[in-house]
Amino acid sequence: ITASARLNGGIIRSYGQAWWDAVQQTSRPLLFAWRANNGSISDITISKPIGKSFNIAGNGNKIQNVVIDAQSSTPAFPFNTDGFDVGGDGNSIQNSQVSNGDDCIAIGSPCTNFHVQNLTCTGSHGVSVAAKGGGSVNVANILVENVTFTDSLYGARYKSSGGDVGLASNIVFRNLLVNNVTFPVYVTQNYFDQSQAPPPPSNTSVTIKGMSFTNVAGTINSLRPGDGSCITDPC
């Protein structure tokens, strides 16, 4: 979807359960590739998306009152069902709910001046700042606030990969409630796709400047309320 667009109101039934049951693979079709500027997405319900729901790469878009339900009703796991993969400048997501098996929101490079508020994430990999992908990374001025994570592997998460360069700056997570979450706060500079072999060692990664986690409360299902790994030791 390009130009200045609006997607407002309705239910999309993707029948993803049949896909999850038939083939346990991670590569599945994306529902929306959003390249619009100054557009809006609101009052949409997406039921059982096959894979990722939204890839947002335009600027100045407002997303609100969106419900994404990618929970499986069988033992088949809904791999790669990201709610929102977001880049661009000046986008926002608010008053929305995501139930899935991967990132609730994945914030990729380049992404600047992005705001998330009043979000509920269930069964997910949390809200991830993914400052990686090769080239020079630019992720700046990210505010994630008033988010509830339930039955999730991660809550607030930052990940970059060895060998990447660039800057992740002014990243703020605040007012987070976690319910039965394994890693409420997780930071790593050594991320790699676990379906592949680990990459060779590297002594470079994206520089982190001005990252904070404030008012994180709730319950965990492990003994590690925060975890992380760095390129250097000590970090």
Q: Is 225 helix (H, G, I), strand (E, B) or coil?
A: coil
> Alpha helices, DSSP H only, in the chain?
16-22
> CA 32 → CA 23, 40, 51, 224, distances in Å?
22, 13, 10, 36
CA separation for the pair 41, 95 (Å, rounded): 12
The reply to whether 103 belongs to the active site is no
Q: Is 73 helix (H, G, I), strand (E, B) or coil?
A: coil
Which one of 85, 102, 103, 164 is the catalytic residue? 102
How big is the chain by its Cα radius of gyration, in Å? 17
Please report the sign of the dihedral spanned by the C-alpha atoms of residue 220, residue 16, residue 25, residue 65. Answer: negative
> CA 63 → CA 92, 129, 161, 163, 175, distances in Å?
6, 18, 29, 33, 20
Is 121 in contact with 152 (CB distance < 8 Å)? yes
> Alpha helices, DSSP H only, in 74-137?
none
Q: In one letter, which amino acid is 186?
A: Y
Q: In one letter, which amino acid is 94?
A: Q
The reply to whether 115 belongs to the active site is no
Which one of 125, 151, 164, 193 is the catalytic residue? 125
The set of catalytic residues is 102, 125
